[in-house]
Structure 1
Amino acid sequence: MRIGPFGWLVVALRLPVLVVVVFGGLLVHLTLRLFERPVFGLRRPVTPFVTQGVCKAALAILGLRLRTQGRPMRRRGAVVANHASWLDIFVMNAPQRIYFVAKDEIATWPGIGWLARATGTIFIRRAAREARAQKLTFEARLRAGHHLCFFPEGTSSDGIRVLPFKPTLFAAFFAEELAGILSIQPVSVIYIAPKGRDARFYGWWGDLGFGAHFLRVLAQPRQGRVELIFHEPLPITETSDRKALARACEERVRAGLAAHLPDGVMAR
Structure 2
Amino acid sequence: MSEPHTLYDTIGHVAVITLNRPKAKNAFSPEMITLWREYLERARLDDTIRVIVVTGKGDTFCSGGDIRDMAEGKLKSWDMKRFLWDGVHRIVLTLEDLDKPVIAAINGAAMGAGMDMAIMCDLRVCSDKAKLAESYIMMGLVPGDGGAYFLPRLVGTSKALELLLTGDVMTPQEALSLGIVNRVVPHDQLMAETMKLAEKIANKPPLAVRMMKRAVYQGVTSTLRAHLDYISSQLSLLSETKDHHEAAMSFLEKRKPEFSGE
**TM-score normalised per structure 1:** 0.32
Larger radius of gyration: 2
Between structures 1 and 2, the one with greater helix share: 2
